[in-house]
């Protein structure tokens, strides 16, 4: 199955021609502590970038500013020309931020994925189809039938990736997505990302392999 | 830098399928706690029995102006409706608190759903559950505990329930915003709604209150809900004025409540506390 070609794209072609992500002089402070200072970044369709740096250097903060759950202290964040956090921008972004604490623990991975797919697509049939596609692509059939509170960190991380990829988003935000994955699962993740040739990826990581496969790196100093 | 209010309400009609999706997830999750689900209902019925025996043991005055035949009949409606009003006004706040604890709030906030859809969807399950519970109480009261619903205007009852839900739903959205910002707001929210129930006449007619408290009780919104519902049930008439008051309250309160909630979300995005609990 070609994930990149599955179903109608969410992003109109005209929108896809412009930069998918534009950060302009992005700064974020928490009180007096400046976590991100004057960050500029522009991603064209299909570009992948690794936000690379040690723990606490501001990588996740940037992801949250792009996802819209944090407001920049200064500067702007735009997704395909829409302000980050707006309805339009959220429809274009697939995010996997704090993977382990972002699901209903009493439900299976599949029930959680169907829930998020229904929120995204509205249509029951389309949601079920998208979930089935992403399950097949990431070989999640067994994992998805486990209740989340019985799944390991690595299993939950794979379900979180599946959620981020639902609906072929224009921009995928991943916070340390390979941290708990075994070698096979890591490879499936990379293949899924590489198959989506028009999808931008912003990945927070401190692993060299992730940086290499992203091809572009933004350094976050200590 | 100008920070635009991306979450502030826009003229978007809430999409029912998104709202129902949130309600369905909550139902699916709650269903996994089967015993708690049953115990919750049993506790409610046991609570009714306490008032039933109090009413049989003591001669407690009911409110004859509302056509209520006994104290038990009075309090049965009070308890049933307090549940519905309580769920409408606190359901969202408690659900937000749970989402903060489980960490799912951020995952919801990055989805393309509006705040109105999110609020209605999160509050939807507790509200529907409370409606079911109220129906069971009334059924038990009518079939097993001797309450006569022969004079009930059921249209009036449903209308009163809907306008009460709307009016207290607006309050619920405001309390949801409070919970989002102050986090540990359970005690405040609980106290507030308990006071609304007592002052509105859930358990005692407001005519029994001290003279200084009665004028305050008369303007509490819950009073209109309780009295209108009791009139619809026991008089079968004269509920329209109460319904109108609650409807006007809803029309005035909803835009403010939606705006307040959006500002609360904006505050958490600015402060970086959306994921905190």
Please indicate if any CB of chain B lies within 8 Å of the CB of A102: yes
Report chain A's mean pLDDT, rounded to a whole number.
Answer: 89
Please indicate if any CB of chain A lies within 8 Å of the CB of B57: no
pLDDT of residue A4: 35
Residue B78, pLDDT above cutoff 80: yes
How many Å apart are CA B268 and CA B274, to the nearest integer?
5
Please indicate if any CB of chain A lies within 8 Å of the CB of B22: yes
Annotated domain spans of chain A: 10-219
pLDDT in tens, A5-31: 333 344 544 444 579 999 999 999 998
Annotated domain spans of chain B: 16-271
Angle (CA) A204 B103 A39, round 5°: 30
pLDDT of residue B21: 94
Interface contact A69-B269, CB threshold 8 A: yes
Residue A86, pLDDT above cutoff 70: yes
Interface contact A87-B106, CB threshold 8 A: no
Of A33, A108, A84, the closest CA to residue A202 belongs to: A84
pLDDT of residue B50: 86
pLDDT of residue A112: 96
B contacts of A103 (beta carbons < 8 Å): 104, 107
A contacts of B109 (beta carbons < 8 Å): 68-69
A contacts of B104 (beta carbons < 8 Å): 101-104
Interface contact B25-A76, CB threshold 8 A: no
Please indicate if any CB of chain B lies within 8 Å of the CB of A167: no
The class that CATH gives domain A10-219 is alpha beta
B contacts of A77 (beta carbons < 8 Å): none
Question: In the Cβ-directed half-sphere of B235, how many Cα atoms lie within 13 Å?
Answer: 16
pLDDT in tens, B191-228: 888 888 889 988 888 888 899 999 999 889 899 999 99
Name the pLDDT band for B81 (thresholds 50, 70, 90): confident
DSSP labels, chain B: -----TTS--S-PPPHHHHHHHHHHHHHHHHT-HHHHHHHHHHHHHHHHHHHHHHHHS-----GGGT--SHHHHHHHHHHHHHHHHHHHHHHHHHHHHHHHHTHHHHHHTSS--HHHHHHHHHHHHHHHHHHHHHHHHHHHHHTS----TT--HHHHHHHHHHHHHHHHHHHHHHHHHHHHHS--HHHHHHHHHHHHHHHTSSS-GGGS-TTTHHHHHHSHHHHHHHHHHIIIIISS--HHHHHHHHHHHHHHHHHHHHHHHHHHHHHHHHT-TT--
State which residue of chain B sits closest to A31, comparing Cα positions.
B271
Interface contact A115-B25, CB threshold 8 A: yes
**Six-digit token string for B175:** 């309390």
């Amino acid at each position: 199955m070609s994930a990149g070609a599955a179903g109608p794209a969410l992003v109109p072609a005209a929108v896809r021609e412009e930069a998918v992500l534009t950060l302009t002089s992005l700064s974020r402070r928490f009180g007096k502590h400046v976590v991100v200072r004057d960050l500029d970044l522009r991603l064209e369709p299909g570009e992948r970038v690794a936000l690379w740096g040690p723990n606490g250097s501001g990588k996740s903060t940037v992801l949250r500013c792009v996802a819209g759950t944090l407001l920049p202290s200064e500067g702007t964040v735009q997704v395909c020309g829409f302000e980050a956090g707006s309805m339009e921008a959220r429809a274009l972004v697939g995010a996997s931020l704090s993977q382990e604490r972002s699901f209903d623990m009493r439900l299976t991975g599949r029930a959680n994925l169907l829930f998020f797919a229904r929120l995204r697509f509205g249509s029951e049939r389309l949601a079920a189809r998208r979930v089935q596609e992403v399950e097949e692509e990431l070989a999640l059939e067994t994992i998805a039938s486990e209740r989340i509170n019985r799944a390991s960190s690595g299993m939950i991380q794979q379900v979180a990736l599946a959620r981020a990829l639902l609906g072929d988003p224009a921009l995928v935000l991943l916070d340390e997505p390979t941290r708990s994955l075994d070698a096979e699962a890591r490879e499936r993740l990379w293949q899924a990302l590489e198959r989506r040739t028009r999808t931008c990826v912003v990945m927070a990581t401190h692993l060299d392999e992730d940086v290499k496969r992203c091809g572009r790196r933004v350094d976050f100093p200590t | 830098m100008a920070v635009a209010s991306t979450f502030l309400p826009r003229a978007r009609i809430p999409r029912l399928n998104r709202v129902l999706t949130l309600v369905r997830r909550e139902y699916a999750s709650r269903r996994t706690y089967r015993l708690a689900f049953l115990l919750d209902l049993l506790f409610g019925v046991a609570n009714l029995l306490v008032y039933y025996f109090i009413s049989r043991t003591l001669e407690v005055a009911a409110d004859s102006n509302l056509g209520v035949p006994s104290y038990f009949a009075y309090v049965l409606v009070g308890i049933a409706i307090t549940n519905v009003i309580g769920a409408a006004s606190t359901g969202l706040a408690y659900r937000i608190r749970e989402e903060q604890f489980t960490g799912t709030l951020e995952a919801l906030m990055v989805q393309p759903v509006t705040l109105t859809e999110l609020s209605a969807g999160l509050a939807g399950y507790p509200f529907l559950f409370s409606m079911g519970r109220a129906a069971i109480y009334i059924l038990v009261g009518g079939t097993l505990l001797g309450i006569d619903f022969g004079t009930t205007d059921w249209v009036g009852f449903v209308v009163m329930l809907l306008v009460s839900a709307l009016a207290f739903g607006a309050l619920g959205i405001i309390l949801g915003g409070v919970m989002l910002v102050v986090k540990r707001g359970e005690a405040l929210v609980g106290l507030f709604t308990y006071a609304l129930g007592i002052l509105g006449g859930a358990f005692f007619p407001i005519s029994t209150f001290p003279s200084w408290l009665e004028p305050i009780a008369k303007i509490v919104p819950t009073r209109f809900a309780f009295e209108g519902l009791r009139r619809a049930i026991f008089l079968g008439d004269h509920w329209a004025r109460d319904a109108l008051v609650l409807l006007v309250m809803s029309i005035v309160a909803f835009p403010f409540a939606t705006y307040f909630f959006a500002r609360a979300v904006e505050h958490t995005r600015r402060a970086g506390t959306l994921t905190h609990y």
